Amino acid sequence: MPKLNVTHLVGRIQERIEQLERGDALEARDINALLTKEQQQELKDAWTKQQALRKIHKPPKSIEETNKIGWKTIREVRLEIYKQALQEAQDGVGDGIEKLLHQSEVKAARVFMDAFSKAKDEDKNAWSAGNIALRRNGFNRIDGQSYSYSNKRDREVNEMEDSLRERMEADLSAEEKEQLELGREYDKAVAKRRK
């Protein structure tokens, strides 16, 4: 199973916090799966402290007494540690994404150079071989060009879909046309924000 990276970790920790707040029963391996070794140790230490507190004091009868003693359930201890882990994960997202981008660039460079060197040794077009290797491994070409292939059947199907769409739009009422236009404007705004 692949390791979680920073892009997944924050969402998974938030999901686990919601489960704990709902009171869902979680196994220890599920609790520890998203925590670092240090955070797992903090959790163990906090629970050990609570167990020692339980040996000294009787269970409190009121909320004031609970707060005064510092009495917490295992769920509350876990929630506290998970909230700290969430904060740490959110603080480290920027650095983590930069690290992932760097790893991706290094991998792309390695793929390109392997294919480039091999083609050069075989007296073939090295640049072309490098770009082909990049595309084969899911990376963009070095020269930034992109090619899309569409055969005759794909073009015919696209033309047919366009004509059907035009006919369907012609049959719409004024209110439906207005809704369609609003939807298109929204899609354009979203696409513009993503750029």
Query: How far is residue 46's CA from residue 44's CA, in Å, rounded to a whole number?
Result: 6
Q: Where are the domains of the chain?
A: 6-91, 96-136, 152-194
Residue 76: name the closest of 90, 61, 63, 94 by CA. Answer: 63
Query: How far is residue 2's CA from residue 9's CA, in Å, rounded to a whole number?
Result: 13
Residue 90's alpha-carbon distances to 4, 12, 43, 95, 96, in angstroms, are 14, 12, 19, 10, 10
Residue 164 clears pLDDT 90, i.e. is over it: yes
What integer best gives the mean pLDDT of the chain?
86
In tens, the pLDDT along 167-194 reads: 999 998 999 999 999 999 999 998 888 8
Residue 83: name the closest of 138, 150, 172, 17 by CA. Answer: 17
Query: How far is residue 75's CA from residue 49's CA, in Å, rounded to a whole number?
Result: 14
Q: Against a cut of 0.95, is the pTM above it?
A: no
